[in-house]
Amino acid sequence: MSGFGTLVARDLALVLRRPGDVTVVLAFFIVATTLFPLGIGPEANLLARIAAGILWCAALFAAMLSLERLFAADYEDGALDLLLLSPWPLELAALGKCAAHWIVTGLPLAVLAPVLGVAFGLEGRSLLALAATLLVGTPTLSLVGGLAASLTLGARKSGALLALLALPLCVPTLIFGTGAIETIATGQGFGVHIAILAALALLALATLPWAIAAALRQAGE
Amino acid sequence: MASPALEVTGLACRRGGRPVFAGLSFALESGGLLALTGRNGSGKTTLLRALALLVPAEAGAIHWQGEDVRSDADRWRGQIAWLGHLDGLKGDFTVRENIDVANRLRGVAGDTDAALAAFDLAPLASRPVRTLSAGQRRRTALARVAAAQAPFWLLDEPLNALDAPSQKMLLAALEAHLASGGLAVAATHATIKVRGATTLELAA
């Protein structure tokens, strides 16, 4: 088994030992999205129109919330040195950490979002589009957030700094994610949006592991 | 004449713009232990990190079996078993899981059982590390080093938090490692009494 597989398995096992960390993130997602109907009022048309934006933004914030500990835990207990000293490429380790993060955050968010979408009055193809865009879009969030998490290692108030770094970089993903659901309202397909989201994810996949590895080496000095 | 297993020539490091040490040279043969001594802040940890290529050296070279380690850094990392001043253990994993995961990350089978026995950790093997004392954690980290079966040990204050019987276990493990042709560099305040030990004092 490569360093990648080992690290994904290790991080998933650690999450299973402490499921609270993930539950909190998903609970935040649910609570944050249900606050909007309460604040805006029960106007069904309005809610259905803004549902995609709210769910996508809440998913973005929920992902940020969970990213702070992505590398910080390894940094604080010395395990980062062991990663830096493993004979596998550090880029694979960085990718493994982000993959594990996506499995425990991005994937559940994509599953949970359509359920909450029903409460906003979204229907049929819109719900499908919501799940599909989150499924294809959240890997980008994990990778971009992973870069921000590795750059802010050792910084004070790293959580706020992380969000400040990562959120602007997530804007294209957010635009095409919510755009897909709007096109359905006008009776068009959302294939193009999925393709662009996939392109963004592939671009992140092809570049960010190297950037994260460089930031981790810097943090190890 | 064959070159020594580890040869360091003219090594210089800088931390935060301040030179920590410069022109540092030493050689270590198979079966040799180098004890790094010196005041706090004299650069013992920096030297260990520079040897592991975690900190870039400003000048100088490190040769392993006659080859510059920077020419094949991944191979060099595969030779090293590392004990930092942090234990590098996951509190939610058991003692045995911590050692197994570290071995898998290094891509070696490792000998977990022998390492557990050497540090008297067998009775604690299935306890989560977060429930252990500082000394027990240190022993777990040392067992991780021993289980890695790497020829070159880098140890930062290995005697920290260890009681007298545990220190004896460490010395026995070190002696076994050196006797099998291994090398070790250890930063320490206490003297490590093993055969083949040399001392390098870093000036503050």
Partner-chain contact B106 A86, CB within 8 Å:
yes
Cβ atoms A170, A141 nearer than 8 A = yes
Three state DSSP letters for chain B:
CCCCCEEEEEEEEEECCEEEEEEEEEEECCCCEEEEEECCCCCHHHHHHHHCCCCCCCEEEEEECCEEHHHHHHHHHHHEEEECCCCCCCCCCEHHHHHHHHHHHHCCCCCHHHHHHHCCCHHHCCCEHHHCCHHHHHHHHHHHHHHCCCCEEEEECCCCCCCHHHHHHHHHHHHHHHHCCCEEEEECCCCCCCCCEEEEEECC
Q: Across the strands, what pairs with B14?
A: B19
Tell me how close the Cα of A14 comes to any Cα of chain B, in angstroms. 7
Cβ atoms A113, A131 nearer than 8 A = yes
The ipTM of this complex is: 0.89
pLDDT for position A175: 93
pLDDT for position B1: 43
| Chain A residue whose CA is closest to B130 | A77
pLDDT for position B190: 79
pLDDT for position B204: 63
Pairing of β B152-156 and β B80-83: parallel
CB pairs under 8 A between A and B: 69
Distances, alpha carbon B155 to alpha carbons A24, A31, B23, B146, in Å: 39, 48, 22, 11
The pLDDT tens digits of the residues spanning A41-88 come to 888 888 888 888 999 999 999 999 889 889 999 999 999 999 999 888
pLDDT for position B177: 92
pLDDT for position B106: 87
The Cα A122–Cα A119 span in angstroms is 7
pLDDT for position B203: 77
The pLDDT of A125-135, averaged and rounded, is 91
- B19 class by beta-carbon count within 10 Å (0-12 exposed, 13-18 middle, 19+ buried): exposed
pLDDT range class, residue A1, cuts 50, 70, 90 = low
The pLDDT tens digits of the residues spanning B53-90 come to 999 888 899 999 888 988 888 889 989 999 998 999 99
Cβ atoms B49, A217 nearer than 8 A = no
Residue A209 has pLDDT above 90, yes or no: yes
What stretches in chain B show pLDDT beneath 70? Answer: 1-3, 204
Cβ atoms B12, B46 nearer than 8 A = no
pLDDT for position B38: 86
Q: What is the pTM of this model?
A: 0.90
Select the residue from B64, B86, B152, B157 to test the A interface by mutation, using most A Cβ atoms within 10 A.
B86
A15 chain-B contacts, CB cut-off 8 A: none
pLDDT for position A61: 94
DSSP 8-class letter at A106? I
The pLDDT of A14-32, averaged and rounded, is 93
H or E, element range at A205: helix A191-220
Partner-chain contact A10 B101, CB within 8 Å:
yes
Cβ atoms A88, A202 nearer than 8 A = no
